Amino acid sequence: MNEEPHASPDDMLDRLDPMLSRGRRLRGIGALLSGLTGAAFLTALWTTEPGPLPDRTRLSFALLILVCLAWTVFGIWTITRRAPLFALDRVVAAWLALTAALLTGTVTTTLAAVRGRGLLPAVAASAALIALTALLTVRARARRTALLRRKAELTTSDPQ
């Protein structure tokens, strides 16, 4: 029960105990550390190569580092944001995962086609990854839309 019967949903969210969002914060820290570690590892690997790398390899390194940095930014955004908009977190993460899957699938399929071998497994794995992340994106957006619709209903309903 709420002591203030006319509190808006935004007011109620503002009063949430910070301990309720511990899981969200831990996931944000995980995304931040994973992204930062991956970017640092890939950068170290790229810069310590003894000789010049082919253009495709340099492009692959750059894209993978960019994906890792995007997860780092997402982790920072999740940790530092005050409002616990869990549905928005999922939408942003789903779009980030879909973008990473599209980039990875494109690079993998292109490299397999250029090499002339492994095209079928590359296309199959890329298609499966893209389909899964697209499904997660659609589900996250649908859930957020339903929650926003419910919030609007609660906000506009007459208090009795």
In the chain, how long is the greatest CA-to-CA distance? 75
Going by the DSSP 8-state scheme, the letter that residue 19 receives in this structure is G
Please give the pLDDT value at position 30. Answer: 85
Percent of the chain with pLDDT over 90: 24
d(CA 113, CA 122): 9
Q: How many CB atoms lie within 10 A of CB 8?
A: 12
d(CA 115, CA 133): 27
Q: pLDDT per residue over 82-102, tens digit each?
A: 655 578 878 888 898 899 889
Start-to-end CA distance of the chain, whole Å, equals 15
Average pLDDT, the chain: 82
Side chain identity, residue 108: T
- Rounded to the nearest 10 degrees, the angle between the axes of helix 86-115 and helix 22-47 is 30
Q: How many CB atoms lie within 10 A of CB 137?
A: 20
Cα 16–Cα 90–Cα 87 angle in degrees, nearest 5: 45
Q: Residues 108, 59: contact at Cβ < 8 Å?
A: no
Please give the pLDDT value at position 159. Answer: 59
